[in-house]
């Protein structure tokens, strides 16, 4: 019974979120192209920048680990 309450609460929250998103999507699609671009581009650019920072850090750590394994030497501190 407790699991069904949790599932129901989760479903209610998801339904609320999806309903809100549908409203935002309808409002945004009703705007002109220039206004859509002005509102959407900062969000898209912020998400892209965040992904680039995460990928850069992950790749940097991977390269550092690969060099350490290949050479068998401790990494020098800069």
| Residues 70, 43 share a domain | yes
Containing domain of residue 24, as a range? 1-30
| Residues 46, 71 share a domain | yes
pLDDT at 16: 93
pLDDT at 6: 66
| Residues 21, 44 share a domain | no
| Residues 42, 56 share a domain | yes
pLDDT at 5: 62
pLDDT at 3: 54
| Residues 24, 40 share a domain | no
Residues of the chain with pLDDT under 50: 1
| Residues 64, 78 share a domain | yes
Q: How far from 73 is each of 10, 60, 65, 66, 77, CA to CA, in Å?
A: 50, 17, 11, 11, 12
| Residues 40, 70 share a domain | yes
Count of the separate structural domains present in the chain: 2
From CA 3, how far away is CA 12, in angstroms rounded?
14
Please list, residue by residue across 21-37, b when 16 or more beta carbons sit within 10 angstroms of its beta carbon and e when fewer do. eeeeeeeeeeeeeeeee
pLDDT at 9: 85
């Amino acid at each position: 019974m407790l699991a069904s309450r949790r599932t129901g609460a989760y479903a209610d929250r998801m339904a609320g979120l999806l309903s809100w998103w549908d409203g935002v999507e309808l409002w945004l699609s009703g705007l002109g192209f220039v206004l859509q671009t002005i509102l959407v581009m900062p969000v898209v650019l912020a998400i892209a920048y965040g992904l680039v920072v995460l990928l850069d850090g992950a790749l940097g750590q991977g390269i550092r680990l690969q060099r350490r394994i290949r050479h068998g030497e401790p990494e020098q501190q800069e």
